[in-house]
Amino acid sequence: MIGTSFVLALRAIRRHLMRSFLTTLGIIIGVAAVVTMVTLGNGATAQVQSQISSLGSNLLNVNMGGGFGRGGGAPPKPFDQEDVDAVKNQIGGVLEIAPQAQSSVTAVYEAQNWSTTVNGTTNGYFAASSIAVTSGRMFTAAEEQAGKSVCVIGDTVKENLFKETDPLNKTLRLNAISCNVIGVMAKRGQSGFGGGQDDSVVMPIKAVQRRLTGNRDIRSFQVSVDPAYDTTAVSTAISKLLRERRNTPTGTDDDFNIFDAKQISDTLSGATRTLTGLLAAVAAVSLIVGGIGIMNIMLVSVTERTREIGIRLAIGAVQREVLMQFLVEAVTLSALGGLIGLLLAFGLTTGISMAMGMVLTFDIKINLLAFSFAAIIGVVFGYVPAKRAAALNPIEALRHE
């Protein structure tokens, strides 16, 4: 019986093809909007997590100053090497620690020059930040200890200064000093988080302090935390230790801040998911509107086909069969609209993802959920017209003109 009802439904839809398409337009738009919003939202969430994780796994960044966006008051107090050593030796769960002293310079090689940043640090920086050296090598222990004038350059510096030339063992001038290029860092991209090292030159921290900054100040340091440890607990322990070492009075704010990449990732991902859910809920309203449209056109269809219904009832059709016929027709309209909506959503998400440089994350669950919801809309909003058709009096229906 359902198969026969489905065939009759297709015939009815084909007879009024344009009207059927306009009827399902609300369902098409609703399904396409929901699937597109959720898919792009999932892609954005994955991208945020990927970009933040590129800073390093379980990474804490400890910076001087009382927090982001604060101004006024005394200049922020820098750290010193003793602070870094204390964190390394007294805090459990610390795998790597990388102090940093930075300076803006003009890098020159032969006739080419480029404005960039010199980052004075240790080999721990590469491990903590998950930065690979694709050619050449990192610093030796002797180079770090003596503060040798050697450097590892980012991909942007390489492209702007050396072009097609192999930079290894070439001499690069940074303001008034020269350094020997011993390595090139892997490219990580310039968009979003984690792209800063592409446009940087990394040198031993003692060389930068002695020859560029002129002091032993450490502006920040990175702490790589053992995955077995909770980064929040380690961050709290570091904060307590630094407050003691910097003689911070009880009840006053920290004069430093700790950036937890994992917490930021979780916060941003949560915010993105919430926004995605909100947009999907708004888009789902059009599915309800589409269902109302289906109910409206099915009521019109019942009126137009009253005589046909009367003939079927007169020759022996039972009310259940008439009910099933119109209900299947409503569900078929909704399902076709849902299918077209899924195809439209696939095209939209593919195009937008390519335009935005975002990885497309296909989620079969949201596609099945949207399609199922569209079919349910057909059942819910198609029941009233189908019930009305089944309840017609055969004699009155036959008299209908």
Which segments of 91-176 does DSSP mark as H helices, in order?
124-128, 141-146, 155-161
State how far the alpha carbon of 196 is from the alpha carbons of 44, 54, 106, 133, in Å: 20, 11, 16, 15
* Three-state secondary-structure class, residue 201: strand
Structure confidence at residue 71 (pLDDT): 43
pLDDT in tens, 372-383: 888 888 888 888
Among the ranges given (55-59, 163-167, 255-259), the one the predictor scored with the smallest mean pLDDT: 55-59
pLDDT in tens, 294-347: 888 777 777 777 777 777 777 776 777 777 777 888 888 888 888 998 999 899
* Cβ atoms within 10 Å, residue 308: 15
Q: What is the mean pLDDT of residues 172-201?
A: 78
Query: Hunting for tokens 């055969």 — which residue is that?
Result: 394
Give the Cα separation of 291 and 281 in Å (integer): 16
Structure confidence at residue 343 (pLDDT): 92
Spatial contact of 400 and 310, defined as CB atoms under 8 Å apart: yes
Q: What is the mean pLDDT of residues 90-97?
A: 90
